[in-house]
Amino acid sequence: MTAPIPFAQWLQMRLTAHGFSVGPIDGIVGPITTAAIRAFEAAHGLPVDGMADEKVVTALRSSSSTVDAETAAAVEHRDPPEAEVQKIALVGNTWPRQSGVSAFYGAVGTNQTRIEVPFDFYLAWAKSTRVKTMTLHKKVAPSAERVLQRVAQTYSAKERQNLGLHLFGGSLNVRRMRGGSSYSMHSWGIAIDFDPERNQLKWGAPKARLTHPDALAFWQAWEAEGWLSLGRARNYDWMHVQAARL
């Protein structure tokens, strides 16, 4: 019989699955996990006390893989012609297509490591909580470090704040795609989200903040390493960049 998962780890896994990343699933309920609990409570209309009481646990047990009908309709027919997608200048590394990520990266949630973020970085849902590292797959971690170094060199702190590049929406997150049965690219630690509040899933240009011209150097830094922006490719989910082709 499989041993039960310790409650603290279960708590962290469910918070992460609901989109409230706690960083590494280490079973330690520290400041980042507590901040995620408080943000989850606020989002679900529960008393905000940072305590994993019965109501919080019940809410965490609910499905996290749903998407509202309006969002589904908004993104269903937004794909541009495939010829336009192929014009995006993905160079440097050749990452696998989404259909081949398991063969290339292995099982979800495995082969992970941490990288340091070379500028001030904060949880998007708890903006006073600083994050110094993020968890990524070992195969993509060096590439992501190079990109973040380039971003630090390209943009001033004020410019990063204006763009929302200082707001972390999550990296490793073992969960199914919203509204689907396939695993999200976050499940392998090969995707990163920035400023989800101003780059919501169904928002396209010009509403999403990272569609604006001052974000171009940010996207080019990722594309120079072979990473793909769903926003640039499909005009939705502009918060998201991944080390996998479509």
**Mean pLDDT, contiguous 10-residue spans, the chain (246 residues):** 67 76 76 87 89 89 58 52 52 81 94 96 94 96 95 90 96 81 91 96 94 89 93 94 94
Tell whether 53 and 76 lie within a shared domain. Answer: no
Domain that holds residue 22: 7-61
Give, in order, the Cα–Cα distances in Å from 202 to each of 126, 183, 206, 243: 22, 19, 12, 21
Domain membership flag for residue 14: yes
Domain membership flag for residue 2: no
- What was the pLDDT predicted at 102? 94
C-alpha to C-alpha distance for 38 and 25, rounded to whole angstroms: 17
Tell whether 57 and 156 lie within a shared domain. Answer: no
- What was the pLDDT predicted at 1? 40
Helix (H, G, I), strand (E, B) or coil at 218: helix
Domain membership flag for residue 1: no
Tell whether 21 and 137 lie within a shared domain. Answer: no
- What was the pLDDT predicted at 238? 96
C-alpha to C-alpha distance for 219 and 229, rounded to whole angstroms: 7
- What was the pLDDT predicted at 83? 55
Tell whether 228 and 166 lie within a shared domain. Answer: yes
- What was the pLDDT predicted at 2? 44
